[in-house]
């Protein structure tokens, strides 16, 4: 199974600042993923031509099962997180991760019926302050809706904004998660045209084998958004945490 994650920056290029959703589609299609987790996906916003990006992406990628979470409302439309899947959702939930006066953030929780075994996938986008991210992670990992499916193989993926890689040694260690996207030097994702920070991360728990995990560094991916995409090939079985 191939799991794909990307902060698509509403389809606006990080270098040329042009809106072009087709570039996003082309990068994702080249990987043929089974589950796609996206952040900063517009729906009905002026800057993206009032496009319904969740449905446009689902149709273009041929991934029929769609779950959208609107996090930030604009004067017209808004943006948020999106999960697209080749397989149906057994259950799904949205959790708000807003702390005090800071920007609305969120996490999507989905149990996906992979052939032979379900997998619990979380797609999220965390805040800019370190104490905010620690609170958001702890809030997720202790939330009753997360705990409902905590017995299943679990993958948590998305834009963490964790510049200093602090989360793996805090809440995730306490919850016995393994950090797949390390060392940081091999998983730099932001800014896309000259990556310095490893912000887009994958954590796993349970019998998940990671066969390969890497950033997609191509000319197109570096121009299509301000982040690089993350892709992981995994299967359910004995856990291996040595991405190549």
Residue of 67, 63, 68, 109 whose CA lies nearest to 87: 63
Residue 74: what are its φ and ψ, rounded to 5°?
-105, 175
Domain count, the chain: 1
CATH of the domain at 173: 3.60.10.10
120 domain residue, yes or no: yes
**What is the pTM (predicted TM-score) of this model?**
0.95
pLDDT for position 164: 92
pLDDT for position 237: 74
184 domain residue, yes or no: yes
Residues making up the chain, counted from first to last = 244
66 domain residue, yes or no: yes
213 domain residue, yes or no: yes
pLDDT for position 101: 82
Q: CB-based contacts of 204: which residues, under 8 Å, 6+ apart?
A: 153, 154, 155, 156, 177, 178, 180, 210, 234, 239, 241
> What distance in Å separates the CA atoms of residue 120 and residue 204, rounded to the nearest whole number?
10
43 domain residue, yes or no: yes
> What distance in Å separates the CA atoms of residue 72 and residue 211, rounded to the nearest whole number?
35
241 domain residue, yes or no: no
pLDDT in tens, the chain (244 residues): 999 999 999 999 999 999 999 999 999 999 999 999 999 999 999 999 999 999 999 999 999 999 999 999 999 999 999 999 999 999 999 999 998 788 899 999 999 999 888 999 999 999 999 999 999 999 999 999 999 999 999 999 999 999 999 999 889 999 999 999 999 999 999 999 999 999 999 999 999 999 999 999 999 999 999 999 999 999 987 544 444 4
pLDDT for position 116: 84
**Structural domain for 65, as ranges:** 2-236
In terms of C-beta density within 10 A (0-12 exposed, 13-18 middle, 19 or more buried), how is residue 164 classed?
A: exposed
């Amino acid at each position: 199974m191939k799991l794909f994650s990307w902060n698509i920056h509403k389809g606006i290029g990080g270098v040329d600042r042009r809106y072009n959703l087709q570039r996003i589609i082309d990068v994702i299609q080249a990987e043929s993923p089974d589950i796609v987790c996206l952040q900063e996906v517009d729906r009905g916003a002026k800057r993206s031509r009032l496009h319904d990006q969740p449905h446009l992406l689902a149709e273009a990628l041929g991934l029929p099962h769609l779950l959208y979470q609107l996090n930030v409302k604009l004067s017209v439309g808004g943006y948020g997180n999106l999960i697209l899947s080749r397989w149906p959702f057994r259950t799904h939930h949205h959790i708000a991760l807003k702390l005090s006066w800071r920007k609305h953030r969120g996490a999507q929780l989905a149990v996906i019926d992979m052939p032979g075994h379900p997998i619990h996938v979380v797609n999220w986008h965390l805040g800019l302050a370190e104490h905010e991210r620690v609170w958001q992670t702890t809030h997720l990992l202790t939330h009753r809706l997360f705990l409902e499916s905590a017995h299943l193989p679990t993958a948590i993926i998305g834009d963490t904004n964790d510049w200093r890689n602090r989360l793996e040694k805090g809440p995730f260690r306490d919850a016995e998660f393994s950090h797949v996207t390390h060392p940081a030097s091999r998983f730099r994702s932001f800014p896309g045209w000259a990556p310095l920070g490893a912000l887009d991360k994958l954590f796993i728990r349970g019998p998940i084998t990671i066969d390969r995990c890497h950033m997609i560094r191509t000319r197109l991916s570096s121009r299509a958004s301000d982040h690089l995409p993350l892709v992981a090939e995994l299967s359910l079985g004995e856990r291996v945490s040595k991405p190549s």
